[in-house]
Structure 1
Amino acid sequence: MKRFLALALLVSMALCAAAASAATEVKMTGDARIHANMWSKANYTGWDGTGTQTYDAFTIWERFRLRTDFITNENLKFRFGIRANNTPWGNGTYTVDNPRVAIDVYQAFLQFKWPGTDVEFTIGLQPLAIAHASFFAGSSLIMDTQVAAAMVNIPVVDDKVKIVGGFMRFLDTNRDMDPTTTQVPDEFDGYYLSVPITLDGFSATPWGLIGVAGRNANYGVGAGNCGLYNATLQQNLMAAGTFALAPGFRNAQNIYWWVGGAFEVTALDPFKFYADVIYGEGNGNDRSPNRRKGFFFDVAAEYTGLDMLTPQIAFWWSTGEDASLRNGSERLPTIAGTWGSSTSFLFDSDQAFTSTYVGVNPVGSWGFTASLNNMSFMADLSHRLTFAYVRGTNSAAGLRRANAILGSGQFYQMGRDLAETEYLLGINFDNTYNIYENLAAIATFGWSHGEFDSSVWGRRFVNQARSGDMFMLGIGLQYKF
């Protein structure tokens, strides 16, 4: 039955495309990625975050994305995107017998300009990122994901000043029918506004985001993939005290809010500079253990005047947890973001292959990276060498208290959340060879050493990490069309 449904979906798409082509231009783009990952001491232990499962040393992954644009004219189009999600060979879709069909819709949005103007509306399931400097993986620490939203882009001064904003619905757990005769606050909504300003040699984007979080929304659902761990909205939004001391919201609805600015300076080209400043907080009027607030900033510089390579350096700092759970969390709340510097494999930072990064949390840490990017000494062959140092800003006592109540790895995880007493070193060497214009062979190598606090995680985890460093090797193909 599942195979029949999948076949019917593909046939109907083909028929729709054929019918639409008479009056509408149809364009298809996409990418396919097949790669093998080899790990030694994944997560610094070889285990999952709770220490109850062992990570396979060798897996082969495959993913596919297809985006189809139905274009009536330059002012009106609809995008439909499907995917066979990233899955290891031998599992799910890629099982030898009776595979589980895993084709799903990940983009479906209408885009049009209001007649006679350049005001553009984008409505539906769409990729959406909060403003962030392009250096840091070109994505947002707060949110960079697919979301159901109604957005508007309003040019104010030619291409120099715009207003971008709209409404997002992140969660609606009970859909259109609540399970009781009383209205249930089961939604999590967002309202976004930014003002991109682009001048010669300088750009700045001040922005703000408000979230209205209902008490009965299912924040435990997967909100994305944070490295080798499965991050949820609970970990991204909530304080450890919410689960350790005061389960659940007191208020039916709570407000989360963020303000920030993204800045880029190219006036001194070939020297270029980048920076972000972000402050956010949530549950401010709820019980003290439920409250969460924090600050984050990053800065970076690069020199693009050399033909054979681009030197880069970056620094970031974030507030971390204090020693108490009763006063809530001092870390910046996030939704479903990604962030990384010079594609360091310690962070989820737009790597070519999924699961070739560690998933360290930049929130609650500080550090720096230095990189030799875009190295090229032969035609069609390029390299990137990146060094990273990361140290925690979280109180060891605060993490230890949460682990004692919730269990190690249940909310905070060793190697992902770092105490002030802990640090990580990481080096990755990434190589890309363009076999054809649209087909690349990619090999990436990573090494990392971690020093961890046994008073926070216990001797079992720390001794396992001390028995050897972590290594990663990823090899595969990427085809774009």
Structure 2
Amino acid sequence: MKRFATLMLAFALVLGAISGAQAATIKAKGQWAFDFSWLDSGDFTSQDDDGNSDDDFSASQRFRTQVDVIASEALKGVVFFEVGTTVWGRTDGALGTDGKSVEVRRSYIDWIVPNTDVKVRMGLQGLSLPGAVAPSSMVFDDDVAGLTVSYAINDNVGVTALWARPVDASGNEGSDNNTYDEVDMFALVVPVTLDGFKITPYGAYASVGKDANFTGVTNGGAEFLSGMLSMTEFANGAIDSSSSTYDAWWGGAAFEMTYFAPFSLKMDAVYGSKTADDDAESAERSGWIVAALAEYKLDMVTPGILAWYGSGEDDDLDNGSERMPSVSPTGWGVTSFGYPGSVYRQDTYFGLNGAGTWAVGLQLADISFMENLSHVFRLVYMKGTNDADVIKNNAGVRDAFTPGNTYVFLTDEDSAIEVNFDTTYKIYENLSLVVEMGWIKLDMDEDTWADQDFSDAKKLVFNFVYDF
């Protein structure tokens, strides 16, 4: 009798689970991406000059899928998996495969506060501060654990508040080494939409502990450090441990105008500052970036002018840094080679935003002379706004910023030209072939960089992208 009762109870639990599952609607979407790439002198040095040979070709793939578990219009859960990037012939892409590179990039719930229009999202999610020139922020755009609350005041004005925790290096607060090991970030965004205009002002604040250097964190650490460290700290490879905590804040706005269509204008402007609690002036960092994209849409092409200016370093290491700090602006894709604008291979040769550089470029987008085939052409000239003496007079800083060690640090005596020609052909409605061709000519001052030789970087990439 007890066995029968146990079986009936198990049967009831199974039926309950099935019933519960049927109460939710499950939807899935995602992307398979394949990359066949040829890359030459990716670090701007030619190995042939050293008597070595380049390994230029590689093939890889990546799978991303998002699963929505929808209970009602007021409640749903989302989980976002990524498999890869898997390089063919290496590790889990080698003979026998059996890859274990499955990542949970996002896992959150969306819900509406009962009897209100307040929307809440909590969990591992993709967060970005506003951006117009590129659909991403120059300060912060990444996956992170956090809480977002948004409310539409009326048809024209909304408000979003967020709290994110990019890092908590240790849950044990019992030693001095991890008392200040967290980063907490808060932001307020107020989008205002009018007829033909949209402006989104925002403010953000981050509390950065001196031990929050992402030690042991596999993702995001490099972006965080490169965006927060002063020149002195960058040369040392870590946040200055003489200060207990740091404060960082940003204020900016994204602006879009389509009122005079087919002419459109997009602009971003942001100022940021990082200060140290213990008056460690050499560890401070502050600066600003302004970017703009003006376009005029024609039937078969959309010509545009792209430009930006970011404040740069002076020649004094002791007074801190003059480039704008950032947390993780991983999607500022103004180009598809030097910046992360590729559909797959997210190259970042010049950093993750325009800090320390100015640029002007010509862009021809939406070039189309036949159905299902389109092109984008860019020609961008970049020059540094950093004083060359900060490199000439500090060998440790020069070694830290030499191309090949990190992203390219352009001084006011250095420049670069980047050319992109990218083609998209829709093989099927959901399958596209994207061919990306890029060339970067780097002109670095010999006196500044101790007579080092730099080569042109070139790429040819065939991307197959299946969206479902």
User: TM-score when scaled to structure 2?
Assistant: 0.89
The answer to whether residue 166 in structure 2 is matched with residue 173 in structure 1 is no
**Which SS does the other structure have where 1:399 is aligned?**
helix
Alignment of 1:278-357 (within 5 A): 278-285=270-277, 286-304=279-297, 306-338=298-330, 340=332, 343-349=335-341, 351-355=342-346
| Code of the aligned partner of 1:309 | V
CA pair 204-335 structure 1, distance change in 2 beyond 3 A: same
**Which SS does the other structure have where 1:334 is aligned?**
coil
Contact 1:196 1:204 in 2 (8 A): yes
**Which SS does the other structure have where 1:387 is aligned?**
strand
Contact 2:350 2:409 in 1 (8 A): no
CA pair 247-194 structure 1, distance change in 2 beyond 3 A: closer
State the match for 2:5 in structure 1.
none
2:215, 2:335 → 1: CA distance? 28
Contact 2:231 2:397 in 1 (8 A): no
CA pair 55-283 structure 1, distance change in 2 beyond 3 A: farther
**Deviations, residues 218-239 of structure 1 (Å, cap 9, x unaligned):** 34566868xxxx9342221010
Structure 1 residue ranges (4+ consecutive) displaced by more than 6 angstroms after TM superposition: 16-19
Number of residue-to-residue matches in the alignment: 448
State the match for 1:472 in structure 2.
459
State the match for 1:31 in structure 2.
31
The answer to whether residue 231 in structure 2 is matched with residue 260 in structure 1 is no
CA pair 19-359 structure 1, distance change in 2 beyond 3 A: farther
1:412, 1:327 → 2: CA distance? 27
State the match for 1:5 in structure 2.
none
Contact 1:314 1:370 in 2 (8 A): yes
| Code of the aligned partner of 1:36 | F
| Code of the aligned partner of 2:462 | I
**Deviations, residues 103-147 of structure 1 (Å, cap 9, x unaligned):** 0100101101111222100100001101111x31x0111111101
2:126, 2:31 → 1: CA distance? 16
| Code of the aligned partner of 1:180 | S
CA pair 309-18 structure 1, distance change in 2 beyond 3 A: farther
The answer to whether residue 187 in structure 2 is matched with residue 200 in structure 1 is no
**Which SS does the other structure have where 1:407 is aligned?**
helix
Q: CA deviation at 1:183?
A: 6.8
**Which SS does the other structure have where 2:329 is aligned?**
coil
State the match for 1:270 in structure 2.
262
The answer to whether residue 390 in structure 2 is matched with residue 393 in structure 1 is no
Contact 1:129 1:140 in 2 (8 A): yes
1:146, 1:272 → 2: CA distance? 30
**Which SS does the other structure have where 2:282 is aligned?**
helix
CA pair 267-24 structure 1, distance change in 2 beyond 3 A: same
Contact 2:286 2:321 in 1 (8 A): yes
The answer to whether residue 228 in structure 2 is matched with residue 237 in structure 1 is yes
CA pair 458-100 structure 1, distance change in 2 beyond 3 A: farther
Which range moved further: 206-215 or 230-239? 230-239
CA pair 275-413 structure 1, distance change in 2 beyond 3 A: farther
Contact 2:380 2:419 in 1 (8 A): yes
**Deviations, residues 392-421 of structure 1 (Å, cap 9, x unaligned):** 001111133444357244799576210100
CA pair 20-104 structure 1, distance change in 2 beyond 3 A: farther
1:301, 1:189 → 2: CA distance? 36
| Code of the aligned partner of 1:39 | L
2:300, 2:166 → 1: CA distance? 44
Contact 2:192 2:199 in 1 (8 A): yes
2:311, 2:94 → 1: CA distance? 44
**Deviations, residues 212-263 of structure 1 (Å, cap 9, x unaligned):** 00111234566868xxxx9342221010213558962433221111110111
Contact 2:234 2:400 in 1 (8 A): no
Contact 2:234 2:397 in 1 (8 A): no
Which range moved further: 19-28 or 198-207? 19-28
State the match for 1:189 in structure 2.
184
**Deviations, residues 28-51 of structure 1 (Å, cap 9, x unaligned):** 00001001110122132147xxx9
Contact 1:144 1:337 in 2 (8 A): yes
Q: CA deviation at 1:93?
A: 2.4
Contact 1:344 1:387 in 2 (8 A): no
Contact 1:223 1:233 in 2 (8 A): no
Aligned residues: CA RMSD = 2.7
The sequence identity of aligned pairs, in percent, is 30
Which range moved further: 72-81 or 19-28? 19-28
| Code of the aligned partner of 2:31 | D
2:457, 2:17 → 1: CA distance? 48
State the match for 1:154 in structure 2.
151
1:456, 1:223 → 2: CA distance? 33
Contact 1:208 1:260 in 2 (8 A): yes
Contact 1:318 1:366 in 2 (8 A): yes
2:141, 2:229 → 1: CA distance? 19
1:132, 1:238 → 2: CA distance? 23
**Deviations, residues 331-350 of structure 1 (Å, cap 9, x unaligned):** 0001110355653422112x
State the match for 1:88 in structure 2.
87
2:204, 2:84 → 1: CA distance? 29
Q: CA deviation at 1:153?
A: 0.5
Contact 1:442 1:475 in 2 (8 A): yes
2:439, 2:406 → 1: CA distance? 17
The answer to whether residue 455 in structure 2 is matched with residue 458 in structure 1 is no
Contact 1:443 1:475 in 2 (8 A): yes
1:265, 1:355 → 2: CA distance? 28
1:103, 1:94 → 2: CA distance? 13
**Which SS does the other structure have where 1:233 is aligned?**
helix
Contact 2:191 2:200 in 1 (8 A): yes
Q: CA deviation at 1:480?
A: 0.3
